[in-house]
Amino acid sequence: MRTPDLIALLAEDTAPVPRRAIAPRLIGVALLGAFVSGLLLLAWLGLRPMRPAMHSPAFWMKAAYTLLIATAGLLSTARLARPGGQLGGALGLAALAAAWLAVLATLETLRTPMPGMAHLWLGWSWYVCPFRILALAAPVFVAVLWWLRGMAPTRLALAGAAAGLFAGGIGATVYGLYCEETAAAFVVVWYSIGMAACAALGAAIGARLLRW
Amino acid sequence: MADTETELKALMLRGLGGDAAAHARLLSALAGRLRAYFARRLGSATADAEDLVQETLLAIHLKRDTYDTRQPFTPWAYAVARYKLLDHFRRLGVRYTVPIEDAGELVATENTEEGAVRRDLDRLLGELPERQRALLQDVKLTGHSIEEAAQRQGFTPGAAKVAIHRSLQKLAQKVRL
């Protein structure tokens, strides 16, 4: 087929394209994934007692941290979804959130007597925490990746990592509805490892599955 | 260059609004520039240039909803072209970096002399399901309007439009195999 013939054929397919903002659609897709991972949590681990959680600063500290990471992932994903999209400063938010938690963890460490140190940093559940976050992030990641495949990212591994970070942030937030660890030291290490693993896996998967 | 951007963006916006003639003019204007860009980047492997032009035009068409109309158009088109070039090298298994240049590189030169294609889209069209293939052939070769072609192939006009769009998507996938 000659190129002018192709152009004529493509011109036959010129339907009006509605102007659409991409962030609201992406959030909608992610909420769908979050709903599924919420169901997964209920079926698998259940909820922590929620009434005391409402009055627990630790609960809100964790939720704020993971939601900030999710927001950084969301902004990065939205930027990288279009041809030529650059990361820009979207990850600065994640760095800021991690720095905030690192400060809290340092203060905790200074306050804690030596015998309590191992528990402060390892909690009860350090060995399962990252894996559970990974599992709860999976539905969100599938949804975001599916959305991203309909877009046109040109930096595939980076876009996959951003999608992974977004999903990891949501997955960790959902996990916070079960997890009763209270130390910032625990969260800054094990939650972060879980979310970083989501981003790393996202990069590997994105480089393969996002081609177009 | 500023003039080119203004001109191309205006055509793009009209195309996004559903103006098929403007869309065709945009794709033709891009074809010449893509040809020059790929030929320059591919060096001696110019036999692939026309294939890449066609593949990129398909991509620009199918992904046009990812263009943010508040942004300049040329950098968007350049990003698609550069991505398709990198994807081409990746498929060949060549390690190759394409410098990120100013998007102006895409519109700097033009070559309207069509090259030979190695990969024939007509042959790929032949791999589509029979009714879709017949519909596309009707629209493309015989110059029937979509309405006429739809009637001849037993589609409603709406279904025919969807079928054509899907066929082009499938074609874009086949092009990359």
The ipTM (two decimal places) reads 0.91
Where in chain B are the domains?
A: 2-108, 121-175
Number of H helices, E strands in chain B: 9, 0
| pLDDT, mean of residues B115-141 | 83
pLDDT of residue B43: 79
Q: Mean pLDDT for chain B?
A: 87
CA distance A29 to chain B (A): 17
Is pLDDT above 80 for A120? yes
> Residue A167: which residues within 8 A CB-CB, separation 6 or more?
A30, A33, A73, A137, A138, A140, A141, A144, A198, A202
Is pLDDT above 80 for B78? yes
| pLDDT, mean of residues A157-166 | 98
Chain B interface, best mutation among A2, A5, A14, by max B CB count within 10 A: A14
Where in chain A are the domains?
A: 56-209
Q: Which of A154-163, B24-33, B104-113 has the lowest mean pLDDT?
A: B104-113
Chain A interface, best mutation among B13, B65, B119, by max A CB count within 10 A: B65
Q: What band does B21 get if pLDDT is binned at 50, 70 and 90?
A: very high
**Which of chain B's residues have a Cβ under 8 Å away from the Cβ of A85?**
79
Asked if residue B117 lies in contact with residue B43, where contact means CB atoms within 8 angstroms, the answer is no
Q: Which of residues 97-116 of B touch A (CB under 8 A)?
A: 114
pLDDT of residue A175: 97
CB-nearest to A12 from B50, B63, B164 is B164
Between B33 and B148, residue with greater pLDDT: B33
Interface residue B63 vs chain A (CB under 8 A): yes
Q: Mean pLDDT for chain A?
A: 94
| pLDDT, mean of residues B126-131 | 86
Amino acid type, B93: G
In chain B, alpha helices (H): 2-16, 20-42, 49-62, 73-92, 104-108, 121-125, 130-140, 146-153, 157-175
Is pLDDT above 80 for A154? yes
Q: Does the domain made of B121-175 have the CATH classification 1.10.10.10?
A: yes
CATH number of B2-108: 1.10.1740.10
| pLDDT, mean of residues B70-85 | 95
CA distance A172 to chain B (A): 30
